[in-house]
A and B are shown apart, each in its own frame.
Chain A
Amino acid sequence: MDTTELEKIRAFVAELLRDHDDHAPFADAEPLASSGRLDSLSVVKLVTFLECDFAVDFSEVEFDPQRLDTVNGIAEVIEEYRALR
């Protein structure tokens, strides 16, 4: 995954955090949902984002919410989906 795409994921995650008035920085490996920084509504928005902006089809890759817990995990899901195509 190139830097621009990674930036795009980070920017989207930052926007979700800001909806919770959370302006603190986050690392790519940092757990976001399991730490309570993102709620289920945010994860649903994240799924829509992956479907719309990265054309991920969750009927083709198994949806494991655990993998959307970090920016790195999100990037891996996208990569894995691309490898399938």
Chain B
Amino acid sequence: MRRIRDSPRFAPALPPCGGARAGPLRLPWASRCLSAFRAGLPFPFAARRDGMSHNPASRVFEQCVRTPARLALYADGIELSYEDLRLRAARLAQCLRLRGLERGARIGILASRSLTAMLAVLGAAWVGATYVPLGPRWPRPRLHSVLARVALDAVIADQAGLALLAASALDAIPLLLVPSEIARRSLPPALHAKTVSLEALTEYAGSMAPVPCAADDLAYIVFTSGTTGVPKGVMVPCAALLAYLAALAERKAMTPQDRASQFTELTFDPAVGEIFVPWWAGASLHVVPPVSQVSPAKFIRARQLSIWGSTPALIGWMRATRSLKPGSLPSLRYTSFGGEPLPIVSVEAWQAAAPMSVVDNLYGPTEATVDCAGQRVEPGAAAVATPGRGIAAIGVPHPGTELAVMGPDLRPVAAGERGELAIAGAQVSAGYLGAPELTAERFRTIDGKRWYLTGDLALRDVDGMFHVLGRSDNQIKILGHRVELEDIEAHVREVAGTDQVAALAWPVEHGVAKGIACFVAASTVEPAAIRTALRAVLPAYMLPEMIVALATLPIGANGKLDRAALIDTLALGARSPGA
């Protein structure tokens, strides 16, 4: 892959933005679009899109030109029109390009659910760069391990993200973009020369149009839990992203009147669909503020949202706070849930609260670009359930995607038989960053077609609907986050100083993991001390709620760790009085 660092044009030592070089750029195509708009002529778009550009920002740009005055974004209490959005994204892209970043550059985004985060995603796409979401709540060692492997050309951080970057990490970042001049001045003076305030970008003309991208340019790299304790980066090409966005746009069928939510943290890939789909349709995007995350009913009503999407965990939270009242969300017409199994009881609770809304249960691994299948439940209709699990079936593949249930010989099995779910088609990603062996293990070419093996156990019923039955490995979903239990175990081994460690999902309700329990044996470290030490290395959602010390771990007849026996131990503990 071509990296910006290899380019002679990469020049991190340029003067700060707004300097002598910041004159307006001549961009004939952008000017043509603008003058066509002003003259009421058809836009010269079609040739461009059919020609070569796979940039997801191109369609946003078209929309900005088409409906400049309409509301595009509400974030941090501020409303931006499409014209404002275009100007801000184009200025950011222009600044990045003048600093030497171009197609193929990698831009870290240490921001989430903020105006800065939204502009960062769009601005990075605008300049044809690959964006890499970084978790504003990751523990520093995890953040630094990702930074060390991904070699970023720039980082865009919001206020919360900036606080997380240690001085050592800042030194390694060639270019830093921060929300305000105040934030810039709060940094050590040595960093001022390579730091740009987003406020200062108003000096740019903002006439730049999105840079055309090739199909295999990477749109983003998103990191997910890895079995070795080190997160793995999934590389998603522009073509895969466009296929996904097109499928999602069709499911949501948004119009300029729609008002859609941005709920998901950027490190969780559904965020990319939440952001681009409304902007492709000329609808408005409303970023849910952090305080409304557990109970957004008030926000949904205040912003009159028509489109909602989140993890199913939200339904449980809203029920816990008694804020999911029947008929309380009448403005919603479409809701998607994804990231973890969707219990049937949750579908019913949501349908009662939002009686006019479709409930769409979306399924897919990050490796096949966010989601690639779904079951659409019309208002008032019952969801098709997966027998014995109390959860909704994952439905049928999106257009352009093929699903198959494979036997151990990697041949499709008959309808009704269990096997491993495999995915082929336009949304299958490029694999894992810097891990060709792992990529070769999970992405297989079978009879000339490239398949991603999900590790999900599944079956296809006689009606052609797919059902997920569990995992063939130790990966779990917790609050929508994908977690490899081995990832947790690797860190527990380290801090407990023992090899005998087992992490498991506990408790599990309606087929959904609610927390993590961990067993250790032959450790001299107290469970409480282990938990304290883990806080420094694991994100909060991966912290075991319970750590139990045993003399030895139970071993089953096959010589492997007996996880079922450990679950029995926990079940007994939960039933005993005072537990």
Contact = CB atoms under 8 A, between A and B. Distances in A.
Interface of A: 18-21, 33-36, 39-44, 47-48, 58-59, 63-66, 68-69
A39 to B, nearest CB: 6
Contact of A66 (B140, B291, B321): B291
A19 B159 CA distance: 20
B160 A20 contact: no
B295 interface: yes
A34 B137 contact: no
B26 interface: no
A19 B294 contact: no
Given A40-B317, A47-B320, A63-B322, A20 B293 contact: no
A20 B540 contact: yes
B541 A69 contact: no
A20 B138 CA distance: 8
A65 B479 contact: no
B536 interface: yes
Interface string B131-160: 000001101100000000000000000011
Contacts, number: 70
B323 interface: yes
B291 A21 contact: no
Nearest to A16: B540
Contacts of B139: 21
9 contacts: A34-B290, A34-B291, A36-B160, A39-B540, A40-B317, A44-B294, A65-B295, A65-B321, A68-B291
B498 interface: no
Interface string B185-210: 00000000000000000000000000
B270 to A, nearest CB: 15
B295 A63 contact: yes
Contacts of B295: 63, 65
A8 to B, nearest CB: 19
**In the A-B complex, the 4 residue pairs with the closest CB atoms:** A36-B160, A40-B293, A63-B321, A59-B322
Interface residues of B, number: 26
Interface of B: 136-137, 139-140, 159-160, 289-295, 298, 317, 320-323, 479, 532, 535-536, 540-541, 543
A81 to B, nearest CB: 13
A63 B543 CA distance: 27
Given A36-B160, A43-B293, A64-B298, A21 B321 contact: no
Contact of A44 (B136, B160, B320): B320
A63 B322 CA distance: 7
Contacts of B535: 18-21
Given A33-B290, A41-B541, 10 more contacts: A18-B535, A19-B535, A36-B160, A43-B294, A47-B317, A63-B295, A65-B292, A65-B294, A65-B295, A69-B291
Given A34-B289, A35-B160, A63-B323, A44 B540 contact: no
B60 to A, nearest CB: 26
**Most A Cβ at <10 Å: residue of B290, B479, B536, B543:** B290
A40 B479 CA distance: 10
A44 B317 contact: yes
Nearest to B293: A40
A65 B297 CA distance: 10
A19 B515 CA distance: 14
B290 A36 contact: yes
Contacts of A44: 294, 317, 320
Contacts of A33: 290-291, 293
B291 A42 contact: no
Given A39-B137, A43-B293, A65-B292, A19 B543 contact: yes
